[in-house]
Structure formats: C-alpha cells, structure tokens
Structure 1
Amino acid sequence: MKQDTLLLIDGFNLLSRGYFATAYNKTEDQIQKSSKGQYTNALRIFFQKLFNLINDHGITHLAVAWDVKREDTSRRQKYDFYKASRNELPLPLIQQYETLKEVLNMIGIKQLEMSPYEADDIIGTLSTKWTKETQGSCLIYSNDKDLLQLLNQQTSQIIAKKKEEIIYTINHFKSEYGIDSKQWIDVKALLGDKSDNIPGCPGVGEKSALPLVQEYHSVEELFEKIDQLDKKYNRYKKKLTEGRESVFISKELATIFCEITDFDMLNFQELKLALSQDHILAVMEELELKIKLNLKAV
C-alpha cells in the first residue's frame, strides 16, 4: 500500500522566488503576460513546480499555506520593528498572487490562511499534527531556513540549490549542525535575522552562535551559566550580558507556533489530492501557461 505523504508549500516563498527570478532587471512591460494582459511569469514557475513536486515525491495530501498581511500578525502587533524593513511588493506579483489563489481553488488544491498567524505557523501546526496522527512522511517546500526547527523523523524540508533540490532530513541537520532541530531556535535567537528584522545578540555572529548552543543547549541555560562561561567565549560575555533582552525577544519571534487550535478538528482527508489532469490542462490553457503535466493517479 502506498505510504501517505503530505506536502506543505510556503506559498509566497515559492511564488515570489519564481517572480524575482524571471523579472530580474526587467521593467513591468517586459515581464511575461498573457494576450489578455495578465502577468504570468511567476504563475508559470509556481504551477510547474507544484506539479513536479506532486509527481516526483508521490504526494497524496497537499496544502498551500499563506501569510496574512504583515500588520495583522501577532508578532508584528507585539513588536512593531518585526519585518519593518521589508519593501512593498511589485504590482505584477500582487496580481499573480490574487490569480493564483483563485486558480488553486478551481483545480482543487487546499489553501490555508489564518490571522494572526504566518504561513510558518500553519506549516508548523500541520506538520506536528500529521506526525502525531499518522505514520506518513511530511515534506515542507520552502527555502526559508527558519523551518528547519520543524524537522523530525517524519518531516523533511525540500530545499532548492542552484541546480538541484535536496530533501533535507533531520539526519542531515544533526550531521551538519550537531544539535537537535528544536535548538535551531536558540541559534536564531543569538544570530537574529536581518531579512525579518530580528535583532539577535549584537556582536555574536555565526562563528559563535552555533558553538554556544552546542555547548549550553539553550539560551536559557547559557544565561544561567553566564558567570561560569567557558573561557574561550570570554570576548562574548559582555555582549551577551548586554544583549540578553534582545536574545529572548529574538527567540520569541523566531519560534514557530505549532498549536493553532483552529486546526485541531481538521481532518487530513480534506487535504487528500483528487486532481483531474484534463481540468488542470484546460485551466492552464485558459491562462496561456505552457505546463508539462503528467500526473500519476492522485
């Protein structure tokens, strides 16, 4: 019997990567459009990748997770600096986002969005629920390294490299970093994240953040033992002491929330794929998207 495999897609991560990869150095009038004037460059990338993933990994269940507006997230409501440095989105990308949500509904792909949570929280909640309730595997599609904290024996992340994609497992993670996936949050708490405007601990960088977590296991334990800090970290003692509050705020912001109660009653049968190749091809043709489609029975 075929093993169930859940695919969780960080929707905007995939859509925006496709957009910027194909719109780079182009003016809006140079970006790919349909004969009706609808922008399609990011849609083409999104759908081709979606169908490739379904085929290549034997996906049986699928959901696309979306962020709510930045201002509506609980993190932004509590800390107004969170993601404050993000630029406004280009109009062709916004238009394709709106089209994409309509089309995914038309072809039967489940989408999930829940205020005040972000897509990462939805992915975290569903992957945790899947691990508790099934024996199947879960694949997360995103290049966002924040999601590494969700890895376990059933849950892996598909990460796109320059010319290939790898299924990054918990074993890969432990081998590379020498810590458990949950401790990735503590590394992020020290390092921060410029793209999300998470401050971390000023003066503590990549060379020290991971070794500190490897040795002290968590930022809580690190600060409990700050007075007996290993001599090799002496140069960081003052920086850590001064940055303590920033570290704990950063940990709060970096922690993916995995217990959205609105999904407690979600039945994974709702995410089971039942796609019609003929219907999908007709929809793609209407959008004037040339997509290679050879779906196995799903």
Structure 2
Amino acid sequence: MSEQRLLLVDGMAILFRAYFATSFGGSIRRTSTGVPVNAVHGFVRYFMDAIHTFNPTHVVCCWDMGSTTFRTEQYDGYKSNRPAAPEDLIPQFDLVKDVVASFNVPNIGIAGYEADDCIGTLAAALKDQAHIFVVTGDHDMLQLVDDRVSVAIMKKGIGNYMVYTPVSLMEERQLTPIQIIDIKGLMGDTSDNYPGVKGIGEKTAHKLIQEHGSIEGLLANLESVSKTIRAKIEADLDMLHLSRDLATIQLNAPVACELLECLWNMDTETVVRKFDELEFGSLIKLLGQPIIVK
C-alpha cells in the first residue's frame, strides 16, 4: 500500500482569501434567493485545487471558533486590531462547513483555540501514520515543518504553492522550524498585534537568532551584542517571552481525529446535490472522478 497522505486545510485562511479575492470589484456572488456565496464558491475552487495538487488519501478541515482564545486571555491586545468580518461573509461561515461536510470531510475546531493549534495537534498526533500536508496562507505554520510535515503556503492565484520542508526552509530563510517562533518573539507580529521587543525588526531578529541559535542562546550572551540592542531586549524581557508564547502553536489542543475518520472518500452525488442547492453548477466539472484509495 502506498504511503498515506493527510491534507490539513486551514479553512478560515482559505475562506477569507476567497472572499477578498472575489469581493474587491464590489459585486458579491449570491444565490437566486439572495444568499451571499462568493467566499464558499472560491473556497471550493481552492479546496479542489489542493486535492488535485497533493492527491491526499485523507483530509481534515480546521477552523477558528470565535475570537476569544487562550491567547486573548494571555494578552488583551492579541488580534484586537482585526476589523470585524464583512457582513456578507458572516452567513458563509456555517455554509462553508456544510459544503466541507458534503465532501465527507471532518470539520474540526474548538472554542478557546485557533485553527493553527488544531492543525499542529493533529499533525503531531498523526504524522507517524501519514505524511502531512498543511495548506494555509499563514507563515506562522512554518514552525510545524519537519520530515513528516510539509507546509504549503498559498501564493497569489489558485494553484500556486510554496511547499516547505526542513531543507527548503533552511535554503530560503536559513532557519530551522523552531527558530521561526524565536524570531516572532523578538520582532512581534503586526497582523496578530503583539509587539515583541520594541525597536527590533525582522532583519535584526533574523540576524540575532542566526548568530545565537535561539532566544536562550541570545539571553546567555547578551554582553556580546551591541549596547543599543542589549538595552532594548533588557527593557522588554517580559514582552519577549510573552510574544514567543503567543507565537507558539499548541500541539496538545483538546482535539482528535483517527485516520479512519478522515479518509478522502467523496460521494459525488452528495456533493453535486449541495452544489445544486448553492447554484454552483460551474464547479461540478472540478469534481472529476473521486480518488479511489487502493
């Protein structure tokens, strides 16, 4: 039997991408009864492209479940800069999960944790049984890369991915997966709204971690860095540690899925019925023939 391949889909990242890729012109795709479906329609196109690209034997879709998580409890400002979801997108949150379920794919998410944590937890639990492919637009996920976990970052357009392995991550960024977290601890993350060390940007963070290996290595050798940088780090030590915590994807979130439960086993008729309901006739051709797992 050929190797099992589990595709872990970052649902919300793809849904938001699909929404903004199709709404910028101002016209939102709707069903004849007026239900907005542009994001779900785009999601299906990205989703089916990932299926055809990575040819998985198993598939799971992970979701954020609301904005309150253990990270917002740790730090009030976490993601507080994010605007509210567009009104036309809100009804599509449940709709997209119905579509995923029609593919016979489990939807996994749990209040208090982000989709990243669900993906990290499932990857850690199942990588001994299958090679994992994570499809996302989120570079934070690069910390999950290892010999059994490849992270496919979606690029502009459909069908463009940069697939990271430990080798390609080292070639492109001269970093190990774990060092991704330390760099975030130093530089913070403007999109997630935590500051890191004030005055240290990506270039300096990268250089410090390359020279010292880790935040621990850096703190043990503070006397060897310039006075200015040393002063910045010493002034913001607590925020450095907190930022690194916030950047760390949890690998023990309370979610689980057996490999048997997520076998890619699409029933075309069920999917076509769902597509008919949403007036997605043009997408039926994407289904092709279901992949038969030998």
TM range (shorter): over 0.9
| Amino acid of the structure 2 residue aligned with 1:279 | T
For structure 2, the residue ranges without an aligned partner over 5 or more in a row are: none
Task: Work out whether 1:251 is the aligned partner of 2:247.
Answer: no
* CA offsets 1:81-111 (integer angstroms, 9 cap, x no match): 1111111111211111111112222331101
Any residues of structure 2 matched to 1:94-133 within 5 Å, and which?
94-131=90-127, 133=128
Q: Which residue number in structure 2 is paired with residue 8 of structure 1?
A: 8
Which residues of 2 match residues 31-50 of structure 1 at below 5 A?
31-50=28-47
Deviation of the 1:161 alpha carbon = 2.1
Equivalent residues in 2 for 1:140-289, closer than 5 Å: 140-163=134-157, 164-227=160-223, 229-230=224-225, 233-263=226-256, 266-289=257-280
Q: CA deviation at 1:169?
A: 1.8
**Helix, strand or coil at the partner of 2:90:** helix
Bigger Cα displacement from structure 2, 50-59 vs 146-155: 50-59
* 1:160 to partner: Cα distance: 2.0
CA root-mean-square deviation: 1.5
- Distance across 2 between alignment mates of 1:258 and 1:99: 28
2:18 aligned counterpart, secondary structure: helix
Q: Secondary structure in 2 aligned to 1:70?
A: coil
Structure 2 letter corresponding to 1:18? A
Q: TM-score of the superposition, structure 2-length normalised?
A: 0.93
Aligned residues: 287
TM-score, with length taken from structure 1: 0.92
d(CA) in 1 for partners of 2:4 and 2:150? 14
2:98 is matched by which residue type in structure 1? E
* C-alpha deviation, 1:130, in angstroms: 1.5
- Please report how far the alpha carbon of residue 260 of structure 1 lies from its aligned counterpart in structure 2 after TM superposition: 2.2
Q: What is the match of residue 64 of structure 2?
A: 67
Deviation at 1:175, TM superposition (A): 1.2
Report the structure, 1 or 2, having the larger helix content.
Answer: 1
The list of structure 1 runs, each at least 4 consecutive aligned residues, that deviate by more than 4 angstroms after superposition, is none
User: How far, CA to CA, are the matches of 1:237 and 1:49 in structure 2?
Assistant: 45
Q: Distance in 2 between matches of 1:18 and 1:234?
A: 46
The separation in 1 between residues aligned to 2:137 and 2:255, in whole angstroms, is: 26
Unaligned runs of 5+ in 1: none
